[in-house]
Structure 1
Amino acid sequence: MKPATAVVDIHRTFKVHTEFYANPSARKTIILINGSLATTAAFAQTLKYLRPQFNVVLYDQPYAGQSKPHNRHSRPISKEDEATILLELIEAFKVDYLLSFSWGGVAAMLALAQRPARIEKAVITSFSPLLNKAMLDYLARGMVCLQAADGEQVGQLVNSTIGKYLPSLFKRFNHRHISRLDRHEYLQMHAHINQVLQLDNHGQMQCLATIDIPLLFINGDRDEYTAAQDVRVFAEYLSDCQFVIINNAGHFLDMEHKGACLQSQTALLNFLQPPARNNCSYHRVPNQHHAIAV
């Protein structure tokens, strides 16, 4: 079943391509927020287990995917811009739940800090508030090839670092997509990294303390870039949070193998569908399946 598509005008400044997957039996709607350089296609695996449960909203940032033809790209947009776009889409589609991946977590957390009334729960995957040594090295190397708009080098960098546990087929798709982006997309990512490097972690944490809904953080145990142990700092600032570690998984979680996909699905649906838990907790999802490449 194809989604209903629309281009949403955000404050007469940005035009955003959206995809709405309606489920007549669903009572709740979830919106998915991409990582950098990605499009709605990146959530193909996640969509498979969300569609039977929820109405699902996907969208491309103004600079990416099917939103590109509708915007001018005269300047990079900020993470605050992305948070504003997200808040508008939450209202437009009457969204109940939020799911972000990787750097999409920055815009997601900034939006949640404004306490949108509609959002009941949120899931933040493959994200860390701390820039550790591995991530700083990745960002430094990325800045060089992004500034040069060298798509070939960007693609190789992503696949050899955060994407190193992806199956070979996914790596080929990933490289093909990343190496063929428009120049403004590489410069957008360059500006994004600059902004992230300048963030005051302590100040941002204090801001995030205003979030008053249950949050679930999901990270892979093999992800050295957004490490599971680093995410636990959120427990010091958030009143209602849970942490799940996916066994034998890197940064891309459900894309990497069937076992990680099943663990991710179990963690997400168990969090969203039963009654919310009231305390911060930290646990692993039982590894009941062998790793089988998708």
Structure 2
Amino acid sequence: MRPETAVVHVHDNHYKVHTEFHSCPTARKTIILVNGSLATTASFAQTVRYLQEHFNVVLFDQPYAGQSKIHNHGIGLITKEDEAHILLDLIEHYRVNYLMSFSWGGVAALLALAQQPARIEKAVVGSFSPLLNDAMLDYLNRGVRYLEALDRENVARLVNDTIGKHLPSLFKRYNFRHVSSLDEHEYRQMHAHIHKVVRLDSYCHLNCLGAIHIPVLFVNGDRDEYTTPEDARLFARHVRDCEFVTIRGAGHFLDMENKEACQQMRRALLGFLHPTPSLQPRLPLADFELQPALAL
């Protein structure tokens, strides 16, 4: 079933955001998914397939990306604080109960959660950690150079050779086409964000995380050397009610990488968000499909 699409005015009408609402006829709860950098709604194609069995699912493109771009000409650079504001507006608009972020979408997600949105009951943060380790810093520093030079092919190769190294070949081909064909303003947006990150120690605003009062599940892959499960556990020092799950045999892209990782993600998410035994049947291997996706 095709999702309902809409363009929603957010952030005091400064931006217009393309949204997709995937409805579940029996759902009582709604979850919103937050992309990684340079990603679009397509990045959650695999995740939506199993979440929509139990929840209404909201996806959106940032104002500078995907299907939101055509509605936001000449908007300038958007900060992570702006992205958090946009997320809070969408939470209200769609009356969202749960939140799930992926990779660098975790920055905006945690900033939004620190504002204590009344509707949000639980949150999941995937492939993110409070620490910029050596592998991530090397990735970011190379990315800054390529983005500044608008070196499209090397930006795309960098994604596939680092955080995307464990993706199936079909995903890598799609990623290369997607990243190497982005608009110039998208590269400027990512360059400005990374340039700020590598100069700041507190890139995920650890000082505000103590305000988060809902349960948060952090999910990381055991093959992810960029946001490792060990590094993610440092969030326990800052988030009062948190749990941790490690997806075995998965890298940074978690459920996009292989069938078993997809099954583990489904069990982890439903076990945390909707812990009812009857909702935990094993996902048949045939239900895992290679649907191209990208996130950073």
Normalising by structure 2, we get a TM-score of 0.91
Structure 1 residues 153 and 73, CA gap change in structure 2 (3 angstroms): farther
Distance between the aligned counterparts of 1:12 and 1:80, measured in 2?
Answer: 16
- Of 51-60 and 202-211, more deviation after overlay is shown by 202-211
- 8 Å Cα contact 1:73-1:184 kept in structure 2: no
- The SS at the match of 2:218 is strand
Instruction: List alignment gaps of at least 5 residues for structure 1.
Output: 276-288
Question: 1:131-146 maps to which residues of 2 (within 5 A)?
Answer: 131-146=132-147
Distance between the aligned counterparts of 2:26 and 2:177, measured in 1?
Answer: 37
Q: Are residues 1:193 and 2:194 paired?
A: yes
Residue 202 (structure 1) shift: 9.2
Q: Name 1:80's counterpart in structure 2.
A: 81
- 8 Å Cα contact 1:28-1:97 kept in structure 2: yes
Distance between the aligned counterparts of 1:60 and 1:175, measured in 2?
Answer: 19
Aligned residue identity for 1:57:
V
Question: 1:239-254 maps to which residues of 2 (within 5 A)?
Answer: 239-254=240-255
Q: Name 1:286's counterpart in structure 2.
A: none
Instruction: List alignment gaps of at least 5 residues for structure 2.
Output: 277-284, 291-296
Q: Name 1:17's counterpart in structure 2.
A: 18
- Between the aligned residues of both structures, percent identity stands at 65
Q: Name 1:262's counterpart in structure 2.
A: 263
Q: Name 2:93's counterpart in structure 1.
A: 92
RMSD of aligned Cα (Å): 1.7
Distance between the aligned counterparts of 1:226 and 1:116, measured in 2?
Answer: 26
- The SS at the match of 2:32 is strand
- 8 Å Cα contact 1:257-1:293 kept in structure 2: no
Q: Are residues 1:164 and 2:155 paired?
A: no
Normalising by structure 1, we get a TM-score of 0.92
Moved over 3 A (4+): none
Distance between the aligned counterparts of 2:61 and 2:203, measured in 1?
Answer: 30
- Of 137-146 and 231-240, more deviation after overlay is shown by 231-240
Q: Name 1:103's counterpart in structure 2.
A: 104
- 8 Å Cα contact 2:107-2:204 kept in structure 1: no
Question: 1:59-74 maps to which residues of 2 (within 5 A)?
Answer: 59-74=60-75
Q: Name 1:36's counterpart in structure 2.
A: 37
Residue 132 (structure 1) shift: 0.4
Aligned residue identity for 1:158:
V
- 8 Å Cα contact 1:120-1:213 kept in structure 2: yes
Structure 1 residues 220 and 73, CA gap change in structure 2 (3 angstroms): farther
Distance between the aligned counterparts of 2:78 and 2:212, measured in 1?
Answer: 24
Number of residues paired by the alignment? 280
Structure 1 residues 143 and 214, CA gap change in structure 2 (3 angstroms): same
Residue 195 (structure 1) shift: 2.6
- 8 Å Cα contact 2:127-2:219 kept in structure 1: yes
Q: Deviations over 1:23-78 (max 9, x none)?
A: 12100000000000100001000011011110000000000000000002442100
Question: 1:210-221 maps to which residues of 2 (within 5 A)?
Answer: 210-221=211-222
Q: Name 2:4's counterpart in structure 1.
A: 4
Aligned residue identity for 1:107:
A
